[in-house]
Structure 1
Amino acid sequence: MTTTANPPTSTTTAAAAPVRARLGDGVSPDLGRLLPEGICRTFRVLPYAVADGVVLVAAADVQDTITQRVVAERIDRQVQLVRHTGNEVTEAIDAVYPPLEGQIETADERRSRVQLARMLTSSGLVTNEQLQAAMLEYSRTGDPLGDILVAHESISEDVLVAALSELYQMQRVGLADFAPDLEVARRLPEHLAQRLQAIPVAATSDLVLLATARPLDPEQTLDVEEALGSPFRQLLANRTELDQLIQEVHSEHYASISTVSLMESQPEASAHVVFASNQKALAVCVGIVVVLSAIFWPMATLIGIVAVLSLVYLLVSCYKFQLTFRALGTHLETDVTDEMVAALDDRDLPMYTILVPLYKEAGIVRRLVKGINGLDWPRTRLDVKLLCEEDDVETVEMIKSLNLPPHFHLVVVPDSQPKTKPKACNYGLQLATGSYCVIFDAEDRPDADELKKAYLAFQTVASNVACIQAKLNHFNQDQNLLTAWFANEYSMHFELVLPAMGAAGSPIPLGGTSNHFITSVLRELGAWDPFNVTEDADLGIRLHRQGYRTAMIDSTTLEEANSSVPNWIRQRSRWIKGYFQTWLVHMRSPGTLARETGVRGFLSFNLTMGNAFVLLMNPIFWALSTLYIFTQAGFIQQMFPGFVFYAASALLFIGNFVFVYLNVAGSLQRGEFGITRTALLSPLYWGLMSWAAWKGAIQLFTNPFYWEKTEHGLDDGEGDEL
């Protein structure tokens, strides 16, 4: 029997007669390793000799067409399958690939896997091609074959539950329209329900019926019996339906924790109070001094104010210039090479949680799902939380209509105040099962290998690094002048400023997405502040204050740049309002902040946050300059005596030069030469930023926790098909 496979020069032959070379004679490691360990163990095959130019491959089932095809596709020479017993092949594989405890499939596990495969193929539910693809992924990851088939939508979760029910002789239970008895359902503590994906659905005086996603092992069974205090019987359930039921049963708990946890555990770190009492008192005192000074020495007071503002302006500009100069032409990110990514063993990869906050974004859900499925990470080790607000019925219904596989979890956040992205993320974090987690926005397009690069970075950086920040930029930078400016700014911020801050060990205000965390540390920190509308920047500072650090990686997530001015203003005013909140929160006790961050970190924090205050000053100086040009008003000239005038003049040139230079340098560093010329017009962009800054500052007093929605969903010609 001969089959031709790809490449066409490779031929697989099932041996019908004995050959001279024998498996028992020993296997050369170089020859045995022609096939990866996972494939050898999954298909029970091993190359062991070469006879007349033909590679002899020991196989437990030489007639299996999938085995023949897999071997032929991976050995670029003529091969011949030679029948051996399963034990003989396994012993030979163990000699070439010494087995590691916990990574080798047991006999019972193999038997169950083979039975499941035969059951699904014999009934016509899975094709040979689908089974081959799933078995190849199994060889790389070791994850359950049924879960792999479901994750790649070869079969539905209901089909798998039915097959497992027959395989393990367990009853099934449907939970789609089930109305839980909360007293019964909460008999199993929430943390166990989440970890085991199990929940009580009925109980008698001496027995509890437990819906579970998969059969529990003996250790898990003991944990459940101890928690319930009574015997129980397992019923297999659809994982998606079970997940929704657990959320329904414990939603009040999740909602409370996501809103008040940080506020109650670390009230001094929460922005739920905008101005602390000492800040109010200080503001009143300063206000009184300024008013009295203005009454008795009006011009001297104005000169003093101008001098102080000019000094702040100068310090902020020089600090940004220094950061950019340090980073320009260098590589300050944590180095993760393509070779390191390629060398990763998928069996070692942990579960990874992806949090995706969604609001009024039903139109881009399909593209979002397609993008996440395109990540280079086993789908069976993805825990994707699609975070929707309760009142966003359209997006919720869109997600339900897609019948997504169970690595996608619809999480509906109860409608309550504050209605912010950080509160939704806190809610989703309580359901997270990943050792690591990351935030992506709905329109984000991360590099396919970003998760692997972040994972590898965590393995190589210092032990106190708790966050890996990827770079952000825009996929529609060429749409108009505003999107080009936005891309200039992001290039400057993520290519130069943040890498330089990370290399200097300064507190890093995180970007809004593609920040990867160690989940346990994130929970320890209290996660995000639901009252801070720029929660990422605040979390970056809190992380630093607790002794943790952030590292940058050279991986870029593309976002959609706002192409309309009103939409851009809404987004930017929220960001700047959040910067004001962050500064106010962390400056409640300046001495404590300085001790925790060091003098350099303290100065870096204030100069970084100071950019928001600089944006408020711009219109004032522009107005004074314009008024003087047209009126030659004497009082304006008096406000700028010799030393102040020269300082302000220098600032005019230095500040504008630095701002233009930063944007040009960032685009050059990234290699975006096409939009570099737009950076020369960036002072106009600065005017928009000042407009947004004043709007954000006013909202800080009138509506501090209001989350202004940014519209997404640019039609860029890409299809919505999954």
Structure 2
Amino acid sequence: MIALLALLLAAIFAACCLLLAAFIGSLLYMVVLNHRLRQKALEHEEDLLMTPLPPDAQLPHVVVQIPSFNEGPVLRRGVEAAARLDWPRDKLHIQILDDSTDETAELARTVAVELRAQGYDVVALQRTDRSGFKGGALHEAMQQTPYDYFAIFDVDYVPPTDFLRRCMRVFFAEPNTAFVQARFDFLNPHENALTEMQMVTLDAHLGIEQATRYWAGHPLPFNGTCGIWQRAAIEAGGGWKGDTVTEDLDLTYRGWVKGWRAVFLTSVSVPGELPADTKTWLRQQQRWQDGFRHVSMRMFPVILKSRDISLASKGAALLHLCMSLNQPVLLVGVVCGILAGLLAPSLVPLLLTLFLITLGWVLVCATTFLRAGHNFLRDGEMRPLRFALVLVRFVGGQVGMLARSLIVHLKKVVAPPKPIVFDRTPKRGG
């Protein structure tokens, strides 16, 4: 019986290794596809950004929404950057979506009053509770205005003055665009080893994953900030909802199954702040992982049942959503592998060989993926030795995420489930 159980656990371990190899291998495929599509796609992006805008009198109203929760002094910087956006003043409207429970609430009101005195349309929309968290705040704020375009910035992001003048051109070139996603950049990428690692991983996500999804016609997830939505797409997707901690991914897929598509711009960037301490970063990653899995489980059956989505598009969407299973598969694989080795020591050489092969494949794919993103967006500015150190930090970060995730899941087993809480990443400013 013990031998049979050990074989079963070993088989589960092997299956998990194969799944991980397939998931991570998809990143290598994205790198290849990115290189194949890049030249033509960048030419198309250039054409989009050269689309002429109508005269100022005919430009649409744009509402800038800045969600905030106990952000402190960083709020002023973000709101003032929004006020500097180059757009007709009578058509630029700024909403501070402030759910703060500390002194930030008073600061939000003060900044709004100061900017209104200078002739800007700025309002601090402050709720007495955080129902629906960021998604709930976005939903309620949208009901307060009749306008059709919503530029969304997390409070620590500092949009360049020409952001609207550039990104709004896409809606005139392709009116049925759900949203325009700009690439976010970083205010503190070289603050320490952790921020450098985040810069490299996010550059790969944006420059390889996001760009390639758009270029290849795959579902393009909204990144939650640095983008402009149009009202019709939000309403078609059922509106912003707060029953998941990744409201951006949730609305993206609800709109996508309704036929709405988005545009990603690699050449328009908006700098923001990276978490500079490990504890904050791990909390952020856990929130993203949890939300990704929640949305995946919700959207799997919707996508599979849809008769309006081609098989190829379904495959691309499901592969993307399946990436949310990386962490659970890894956890299950590690536990089953260890148990199998303990029950049947004779299996250890085989298990170890399979583990090392999988690890080698993962490292090759991850290194290629990360370096490709860095080369594309930063022109390979980081020297190989420094990049190798970043890779070591990346591996350490993955191990830390796995350990934290294991603790979180164990707590869920032994304790009653808790309601969803949006654990917002704290900002420091400067």
* TM-score normalised according to structure 2 size: 0.86
> What CA distance in whole angstroms lies between the structure 2 residues aligned with 1:398 and 1:645?
57
Q: Does 1:313 align with 2:20?
A: yes
> In the alignment, which residue of structure 1 is the partner of 2:228?
516
**Are 2:177 and 2:263, in contact at CA under 8 Å, matched by a contact in 1?**
yes
Q: Does 1:705 align with 2:420?
A: yes
Deviations 1:303-339 (A, max 9, x none): 3312321221121112111112221482535514698
Matches within 5 A, 1:573-612: 573-589=286-302, 591-593=304-306, 595-612=307-324
> What CA distance in whole angstroms lies between the structure 2 residues aligned with 1:626 and 1:714?
44
> In the alignment, which residue of structure 2 is the partner of 1:6?
none
> In the alignment, which residue of structure 2 is the partner of 1:680?
391
**Are 1:336 and 1:453, in contact at CA under 8 Å, matched by a contact in 2?**
no
Q: Secondary structure at the match of 1:304?
A: helix
> What CA distance in whole angstroms lies between the structure 2 residues aligned with 1:355 and 1:513?
10
Give 1:610 deviation, angstroms.
2.8
> What CA distance in whole angstroms lies between the structure 2 residues aligned with 1:542 and 1:684?
35
Give 1:549 deviation, angstroms.
0.8
Give 1:299 deviation, angstroms.
3.0
Give 1:637 deviation, angstroms.
5.0
Give 1:567 deviation, angstroms.
0.9
Which of 660, 667, 677 does residue 367 from structure 2 map onto? 660
> In the alignment, which residue of structure 1 is the partner of 2:129?
415
> What CA distance in whole angstroms lies between the structure 2 residues aligned with 1:341 and 1:636?
66
> In the alignment, which residue of structure 2 is the partner of 1:559?
272
The alpha-carbon distance between structure 1 residues 697 and 356, as it changes in their structure 2 partners (threshold 3 A), is farther
> What CA distance in whole angstroms lies between the structure 1 residues aligned with 2:93 and 2:284?
28
Q: Does 1:385 align with 2:95?
A: yes
> In the alignment, which residue of structure 2 is the partner of 1:299?
6
> What CA distance in whole angstroms lies between the structure 2 residues aligned with 1:708 and 1:495?
27
Q: Which moved more, 1:508-517 or 1:605-614?
A: 605-614
Which of 227, 231, 237 does residue 525 from structure 1 map onto? 237
AA matched with 1:673:
E
* TM-score normalised according to structure 1 size: 0.53
Q: Does 1:356 align with 2:356?
A: no
AA matched with 1:395:
T
The alpha-carbon distance between structure 1 residues 413 and 695, as it changes in their structure 2 partners (threshold 3 A), is farther
AA matched with 1:368:
G
Matches within 5 A, 1:204-603: 297-328=4-35, 330-331=38-39, 332=41, 335-336=45-46, 340=50, 345-389=55-99, 392=101, 394-402=103-111, 403=113, 404-405=115-116, 406-415=120-129, 417-418=131-132, 420-461=133-174, 463-553=175-265, 554-589=267-302, 591-593=304-306, 595-603=307-315
**Are 2:331 and 2:406, in contact at CA under 8 Å, matched by a contact in 1?**
no
Deviations 1:367-417 (A, max 9, x none): 12321122222222111110112x625222112223221511111123154
Give 1:683 deviation, angstroms.
1.6
> What CA distance in whole angstroms lies between the structure 1 residues aligned with 2:236 and 2:190?
42
Q: Secondary structure at the match of 1:673?
A: coil
**Are 1:302 and 1:639, in contact at CA under 8 Å, matched by a contact in 2?**
no
**Are 2:233 and 2:255, in contact at CA under 8 Å, matched by a contact in 1?**
no
Give 1:677 deviation, angstroms.
4.3
> In the alignment, which residue of structure 1 is the partner of 2:376?
669
Give 1:562 deviation, angstroms.
0.3
**Are 2:204 and 2:369, in contact at CA under 8 Å, matched by a contact in 1?**
yes
Give 1:603 deviation, angstroms.
2.7
> What CA distance in whole angstroms lies between the structure 2 residues aligned with 1:301 and 1:633?
13
**Are 1:577 and 1:704, in contact at CA under 8 Å, matched by a contact in 2?**
no
Deviations 1:564-599 (A, max 9, x none): 111111111111110111111112456315x44433
> In the alignment, which residue of structure 2 is the partner of 1:115?
none
Aligned length: 413
- Give the structure with the larger helix fraction: 2
AA matched with 1:320:
L
Deviations 1:215-234 (A, max 9, x none): xxxxxxxxxxxxxxxxxxxx
Q: Secondary structure at the match of 1:513?
A: coil
Structure label with greater radius of gyration: 1
Give 1:509 deviation, angstroms.
2.3
**Are 2:292 and 2:321, in contact at CA under 8 Å, matched by a contact in 1?**
yes
**Are 1:355 and 1:385, in contact at CA under 8 Å, matched by a contact in 2?**
yes
Q: Secondary structure at the match of 1:335?
A: helix
Give 1:676 deviation, angstroms.
3.8
What percent identity do the matched residue pairs reach?
Answer: 19
The alpha-carbon distance between structure 1 residues 563 and 410, as it changes in their structure 2 partners (threshold 3 A), is same
> What CA distance in whole angstroms lies between the structure 2 residues aligned with 1:500 and 1:416?
35
Deviations 1:626-658 (A, max 9, x none): 999xxx8672552775xx876654322111111
**Are 1:495 and 1:666, in contact at CA under 8 Å, matched by a contact in 2?**
yes
Matches within 5 A, 1:122-141: none
Q: Secondary structure at the match of 2:222?
A: coil
**Are 1:474 and 1:560, in contact at CA under 8 Å, matched by a contact in 2?**
yes
The alpha-carbon distance between structure 1 residues 540 and 695, as it changes in their structure 2 partners (threshold 3 A), is farther
> What CA distance in whole angstroms lies between the structure 2 residues aligned with 1:589 and 1:506?
16
Deviations 1:659-702 (A, max 9, x none): 12211211111116236444432222222332454466568773
AA matched with 2:400:
L
Q: Which runs of 5+ in 1 are unaligned?
A: 1-293, 716-722
The alpha-carbon distance between structure 1 residues 417 and 698, as it changes in their structure 2 partners (threshold 3 A), is farther
> What CA distance in whole angstroms lies between the structure 2 residues aligned with 1:556 and 1:345?
25
> What CA distance in whole angstroms lies between the structure 2 residues aligned with 1:481 and 1:661?
20
**Are 1:355 and 1:437, in contact at CA under 8 Å, matched by a contact in 2?**
yes
Coordinate RMSD, CA, aligned: 3.0
> What CA distance in whole angstroms lies between the structure 2 residues aligned with 1:695 and 1:435?
44
The alpha-carbon distance between structure 1 residues 634 and 295, as it changes in their structure 2 partners (threshold 3 A), is closer
AA matched with 2:123:
H
**Are 1:383 and 1:433, in contact at CA under 8 Å, matched by a contact in 2?**
no
